[in-house]
Chain A
């Protein structure tokens, strides 16, 4: 990796002051499970690395009347072990449990999970976030796209959002707190990820001088039934081929309202709004869940090699809904 300046601030204010106005000025280091490998591959070459692990106030999971606040530095293991999360938001526990590497669970943070870069193999092999050849043409549509996007893929981005937790957090209506040199702001989890339109853009709304500090799951999400279902080829150390997170409010055995968010199928976590509408007022039976799964993928436009992901995502939605209805942990 390229030489860099290393900073280890202890306050949020200090940390933000160390960030720069351009992406290459500084990078935020938390668990380091993605950043270090990106640096070793020279895919990012920040002039300064800002280690935020000693920054106070970014740890812990706290509940109050507003809801549950999760610090950006909470590790996957801490998330998994938290009793409130386990009982109130089983989908979040299931999603964290899908990260099957003990090392990554021990080091990786909630903030890092949301901010990690895509796993697109063209990106990771040095062809840029938008995977272009030397003439600026995307390599994905005519290339090896078996793991790429089936939704939100009209270009120029074809990668899939790699976050394990984002779909659940969106389904639970969570908000993300960001802090920057211009102050603090809050965005909905559903508005955090964006599809970049050019090489200059990133895959979320963070500015170079901002960092993610907290995630808040609103109190109104208590009492939702939630579940995550991932289709992974290997039982461990493998990315999901498709995933679905669902959160539903049941009244008299019928869905009053529900949220369905797909992971690993689009450049952003993909909220299936049409399917959510179709779910309303229904009892979650096998056939209802299957038809909601169909609805969730109605707009899918698979590339040359990834048609199978449409089927996988449908099944993920169906199985997540059935698990949520049963209250399976």
Chain B
């Protein structure tokens, strides 16, 4: 049995370097097709009728007029009469027609009668939610009441984060095409290997082997694209009924209403410390909504900084806002905002630099204490924190106030189960095949780098086959588990394939296989570069039979990967105190993630997370109207996303070297998106001297906090 390990980083020619993503040119030139771009011959277009009511019973559905409309080929009932719908935007009927416009027009002719039922869409006050609340949890450690009584300083505040959406730029959806009993789905999914089984469970296909899912690239999921979804099932059924391929992608309004919401979280917090800043006690009453189901869970707060004496009570509000879905680092951005805001307010009360306060209590962060401490130092240097930080309230004259804020965060990120086949052909070509998907993070490139590094070949010499359920099964891409999973399985498969090749080649080099190494496009005897043959010559010895190495990453310990990272971020903002406008001038993100395979795509992950973080800090809010039960900003006009002009410098620093590299690969998707909200909110408080309690930090709230809101 081979011993699997990573080569020492100083010996790597590819791993850890800045390498551009393999699919970059394909994407930027439009050569590679997203699900949205797939147009099959003879294809129909599907559109859905959705409930205009937040809670209703479907009484009857009449599709007869629609079926007579020009171009209409199939209709599929998605919510049978008698069943309830639980949010405005929930799917009721789907229709397929020759053109998108015909399908849309036909959907409007479908008569659905509803019996309206009472709804609740507001989560801001659990006391008004009546029977729509569910006390989920109470957790007490030690004696928080006594600890807070004995605290020399306490701070109380209310903080929160509203429901936001995933707003994937490629909306949810797919193209479904039947060939006899065989179904091909061009799906925008985070779970290529899992969708075939779902089609069998829904009784759409009789065998998972007869379902092929293709996702060469996809335009964002962020946790909202694990399932085939009701529209995926309906699309396959429409295609079956019509006997033609059907494309059904969500329209932007449906994407925002129904395809995923991040749960809100609000909390009333009391936190106490000694005069020297040592944290002693925490109590919080929190609430939030994750839609109609009791999802969202009780928060694990205080976040990261484990104050020994604490009590947490949490209430879930059940609302008709649309279903919660995992949103990049589920619950962490909310818990982080609440905790880091409360600690920042306490530091302000103590007249203490919040970075000092975090360092003072760094042991409460547990086993990553040294990492956090080093990251805070690095971030402070990149922000020039010591020189530029000022106590709360910028005293500079004029309306523009500047401030700095800090936050720290954590995430697990162990690898998911993954299988890789690595094949070496007699002509010297090499491929790695996995049923994984690349959400846009760089997964394809990472697989290529590991394969090439293992074979001693340049990156261009290997082919990466992913995004096809016919390849060996791979886990869903969630929770930052992909890079760990595919890195482990790929390294194992490539090593196993190489070992077979070395067995074949060894006699001709008059050496034992374990005396050989693959390096610089050669197989050679270790320590004796003159006894070598080229990669092509070596592979020619395979005759006519290619070899395949199989690599499997199973759950459990794995020398190639690890989990548990920390990160520190610091924000600098300018606030116009006359208009309440906030500008993020600079965001510093310092992050560890173990061994980095591709420094460039790793840094890109962090840049993207910072932009996403700035966006939810300043703009994002799923605005629900209690009267109509509707989401009023299910568009990109009032569901605001940051543009390139809306943020300043983003400075990314990855922690690498001793203490980090030898941990193996750890996922990076979630962690850097956690802290921006807290760091930016704290920077605003530092700038203007008062806390804006909830995100997003919009002009109305900033002016309100400054007492200039004049709300009638």
Contact = CB atoms under 8 A, between A and B. Distances in A.
Contacts of A122: 625, 632
Interface string A111-146: 000000001011011010000010000010011101
Contact of A234 (B633, B640, B704, B712): B640
Interface in A1-53: 1-3, 42
Contact of B709 (A119, A139, A236, A307): A307
Interface in A302-329: 302-308, 310-312, 315
A119 B637 contact: yes
A305 B699 contact: no
A39 to B, nearest CB: 11
Contacts of A188: none
Contact of A241 (B618, B626, B632, B699): B699
B202 interface: no
B699 A234 contact: no
A315 B711 contact: no
A133 B627 contact: yes
Contacts of A133: 627-628
B643 interface: yes
Contacts, number: 97
B698 interface: yes
B101 interface: yes
B660 interface: no
A233 B581 contact: yes
Contact of A302 (B644, B708, B711): B711
B619 A308 contact: no
B700 interface: yes
Interface in B563-618: 578-581, 618
A40 to B, nearest CB: 8
Given A307-B712, A308-B708, A142 B700 contact: no
| Most chain B beta-carbon contacts within 10 A, residue among A42, A233, A238 | A233
A146 B579 contact: no
B630 interface: yes
A317 to B, nearest CB: 12
Given A305-B700, A305-B711, A237 B643 contact: yes
Contacts of A231: 579, 581, 699
A311 B709 contact: yes
B617 to A, nearest CB: 13
A154 interface: no
A315 B579 contact: yes
A42 B47 CA distance: 15
Contact of B640 (A143, A233, A304): A233
Nearest to B632: A121
Contacts of B638: 121, 147
Interface residues on A, range: 35 or more
B170 interface: no
Contact of B700 (A2, A124, A125, A308): A308
Interface in A217-255: 231, 233-239, 241
Nearest to B711: A307
A310 B700 CA distance: 10
Interface string B649-680: 00000000000000000000000000000000
Contact of B630 (A42, A125, A310): A125
A303 B638 CA distance: 19
B619 A234 contact: yes
B643 A311 contact: no
Main secondary structure of the interface of A (DSSP, over half): loop
A144 B623 contact: yes
A312 B699 contact: yes
A177 to B, nearest CB: 31
A139 B627 contact: yes
Contact of A144 (B632, B637, B703, B709): B632
Nearest to B583: A235
Interface in A270-329: 301-308, 310-312, 315
A308 B627 CA distance: 23
| Most chain A beta-carbon contacts within 10 A, residue among B105, B627, B646 | B627
A306 B580 CA distance: 13
Contacts of A315: 578-579
Contact of A235 (B579, B623, B645): B645
B108 interface: yes
Contacts of B625: 122, 139, 143-144
Contacts of B710: 302, 307-308, 310-311
Interface in B429-458: none
A122 B711 CA distance: 21
B124 interface: no
A34 to B, nearest CB: 12
B204 interface: no
A122 B631 CA distance: 10
Contacts of B646: 234-236
Contacts of A303: 712
B32 interface: no
A218 B632 CA distance: 42
A302 B618 CA distance: 23
Interface in B228-259: none
| Most chain A beta-carbon contacts within 10 A, residue among B642, B704, B710 | B710
Contacts of A125: 628, 630, 632
Given A234-B646, A236-B643, A311-B578, A304 B711 contact: yes
A122 B625 CA distance: 10
Nearest to B251: A40
A232 to B, nearest CB: 8
A233 B627 CA distance: 27
Contacts of B578: 311, 315
Contacts of B698: 233
A1 to B, nearest CB: 7
Contacts of B108: 42
B632 A238 contact: no
| Most chain B beta-carbon contacts within 10 A, residue among A42, A147, A235, A239 | A235
A101 to B, nearest CB: 10
B704 A127 contact: no
A234 B632 contact: no
Contacts of B633: 121
Nearest to A2: B105
A3 B71 CA distance: 14
A288 to B, nearest CB: 16
Nearest to B710: A307
A121 B710 CA distance: 23
A291 to B, nearest CB: 15
Contact of A312 (B579, B627, B630, B645): B579
Nearest to A237: B643
A233 B699 contact: yes
Contacts of A119: 637
A301 B645 contact: no
A143 B708 contact: no
Given A146-B700, A315-B579, A308 B709 contact: yes
A284 to B, nearest CB: 17
A265 to B, nearest CB: 14
Nearest to A309: B700
Contacts of A3: 105
A208 B712 CA distance: 38
Nearest to A137: B627
Given A2-B105, A119-B637, A241-B699, 16 more contacts: A1-B104, A121-B633, A122-B632, A133-B627, A139-B627, A143-B626, A143-B628, A144-B623, A233-B581, A234-B619, A234-B640, A234-B645, A303-B712, A307-B711, A310-B710, A315-B578
**4 tightest A-B contacts by CB?**
A235-B645, A307-B711, A308-B700, A307-B710
Interface of A: 1-3, 42, 119, 121-122, 124-125, 127, 133, 139, 142-144, 146-147, 231, 233-239, 241, 301-308, 310-312, 315
20 contacts: A3-B105, A119-B637, A121-B632, A121-B638, A125-B632, A142-B627, A143-B627, A146-B700, A233-B618, A241-B699, A305-B700, A307-B709, A307-B712, A308-B700, A308-B704, A311-B579, A311-B580, A312-B579, A312-B699, A315-B578
